[in-house]
Amino acid sequence: MKIIVTSTASTRQEPSLQAFLSECRWDFVPRQGRSIHKLRTLYQADAVVVWEPSGPVLYVEDEKFFFHPSMAKNRLGLYRKKGIQDLMVRVCEIQPGDRILDCTLGLGADAIVAAYFAKTDVVGLESAIPLARVVKWGMKMYSTPFPWLEEAIKRICVIPRDHQSYLAECPGDSFDIVYFDPMFQHPLLKSQPLNPLRKLADHRPLTEDSIEQACRVARKKVVLKERSDSLEFERLGFQKIVRGSNKLIAYGTIDVNPPGSRG
Ligand SMILES: C[S@@+](CC[C@H](N)C(=O)[O-])C[C@H]1O[C@@H](n2cnc3c(N)ncnc32)[C@H](O)[C@@H]1O
C-alpha cells in the first residue's frame, strides 16, 4: 500500500510530524492547497495521511480513519457514573498490576479499558501497519479534559506487529492476560464505528498455534471475543463462554493456571 503524508497549513513545521515521518518512512508531499483526491491521483497513492493538530488522519478510498477513544470513554463512563462493570473486565478478571497483552489492538478501546483497571502499561499489537501507526500517534497526541481517560490512553504501548511472531518470541508467563478480539469472519451489521477500520484491518482468522503460544505466555488467562454463534471458540479450544447481555457477542476463556494447579 503506497501511503503519502501531507500537512495542514498550521502543522507543516511541527516536530511531531518530523518524528512521525522518520519513524514511518512514508514520503512527505507539501499540501499547497491541493485536495486529498488530487494528491492521491498525482502521486498514485493508495492512501493519504494528513497531519492534523490533533494527530494523523488517514484517508483511504472514501473513508477517513483516526484515533478516537469514544467506545472506551462510554464504557469507562458507565463504570464511573453508574458503577456498571464492563463485561470484558469481568471476564478477564483484571486486577491492578496485571500485565496485559492485547493481540488485536484495532482502535484500542479494549486496551484503554484494560489499562484503566490494570493501572499499568498494556502492550497492544496490531499487524495492519498503517492502522497501528495512526493509532499509536493518535494516542500519543490525544488530549482530553478527563485525566482518568488520558492516563489510561498513555499507558498503551502500541507495537506494529503480527501477534503470531511476537508471541513466539515472548518468554513463558511474561503476561498475566493475553487477549484476542479478531475481525469477525461474518461482521455484525450493528458495529458501525468499526467500519473505516474494516478496510485497513488484517482479516485472517486466528491460528491454533497463536492460541498455543498465548497459553504459554499467559500466567492467568487467555481470552477471545467473538460472535456468540461463532465456531471459533470450539475450533481454538475455549471452553468457558460468557455471553454479553445483547446476546450478539461472547467471550471465551482458557484458565492457564487454574487455582489449585499452581505449584
Ligand atoms: C476487531 S479489531 C479489534 C478491536 C479492538 N479490540 C478495539 O477495542 O478497538 C481486530 C484488530 O486486530 C488486528 N489483527 C488481526 N490479526 C492480527 C494479528 N495476527 N496480529 C496483530 N493484529 C491483528 C486487525 O487488523 C484489527 O485491527
**Domain end (from 40, 65, 90):** 65
**Domain end (from 48, 65, 82):** 65
**Domain end (from 39, 65, 91):** 65
66 contacts: CB under 8 Å, gap ≥ 6: 52, 54, 55, 56, 57, 58, 134, 138
Please give the residue range of the domain that contains residue 18: 3-65
The protein residue whose alpha carbon is closest to atom 22 in ligand 1 is 126
What is the predicted pLDDT for the residue at 240?
A: 86
Q: Are residues 57 and 109 in the same domain?
A: no
* Domain membership flag for residue 119: yes
Please give the distance, rounded to the nearest whole angstrom, from the Cα atom of residue 109 to the centre of ligand 1.
Answer: 11
Please give the distance, rounded to the nearest whole angstrom, from the Cα atom of residue 262 to the centre of ligand 1.
Answer: 31
The protein residue whose alpha carbon is closest to atom 2 in ligand 1 is 106
Q: Are residues 176 and 244 in the same domain?
A: yes
**Closest atom of ligand 1 relative to the 107 alpha carbon:** 9
What is the predicted pLDDT for the residue at 247?
A: 82
| Structural domain count of the chain | 2
Reading the block at residue 162, the C-alpha cell is 503480527
Q: Are residues 59 and 97 in the same domain?
A: no
Q: Are residues 161 and 246 in the same domain?
A: yes
* Domain membership flag for residue 8: yes
The protein residue whose alpha carbon is closest to atom 20 in ligand 1 is 162
What is the predicted pLDDT for the residue at 185?
A: 79
Q: Are residues 84 and 193 in the same domain?
A: yes
Spatial separation of the C-alpha atoms in residues 248 and 185, rounded to whole Å: 14
* Domain membership flag for residue 261: no
Q: Are residues 52 and 110 in the same domain?
A: no
* Domain membership flag for residue 183: yes
What is the predicted pLDDT for the residue at 12?
A: 77
Beta bridge partners of 242: 251
Q: Residue-wise pLDDT tens for the chain (263 aa)?
A: 999 999 997 877 889 999 999 999 999 999 999 999 999 999 999 999 999 999 999 999 888 999 999 899 999 999 999 999 999 999 999 999 999 999 999 999 999 999 999 999 999 999 999 999 999 999 999 999 999 999 999 999 999 999 999 999 999 999 999 999 999 877 766 555 557 788 899 999 999 999 999 999 999 999 999 999 999 999 999 988 999 888 899 999 999 976 666 54
Q: Are residues 10 and 103 in the same domain?
A: no
Q: Are residues 102 and 23 in the same domain?
A: no
Please give the distance, rounded to the nearest whole angstrom, from the Cα atom of residue 7 to the centre of ligand 1.
Answer: 28
**What residues flank ligand 1, with Cβ below 6 Å?**
103-104, 106-110, 125-128, 131, 162-164, 181-183, 197, 201-202, 204
Q: Are residues 25 and 104 in the same domain?
A: no
For the purposes of burial, counting CB atoms within 10 Å of the CB of 245, is it exposed (0-12), middle (13-18) or buried (19 or more)?
A: exposed
Q: For residue 160, what are the CA distances in angstroms to 137, 202, 229?
A: 12, 12, 30
* Domain membership flag for residue 260: no
**Closest atom of ligand 1 relative to the 179 alpha carbon:** 6
Please give the distance, rounded to the nearest whole angstrom, from the Cα atom of residue 183 to the centre of ligand 1.
Answer: 6
Rounded (5°) CA angle 239-242-248:
120
Q: Are residues 50 and 103 in the same domain?
A: no
**Closest atom of ligand 1 relative to the 108 alpha carbon:** 9
* Domain membership flag for residue 114: yes
CATH of the domain at 197: 3.40.50.150
Q: Are residues 170 and 185 in the same domain?
A: yes
Q: Are residues 61 and 74 in the same domain?
A: no
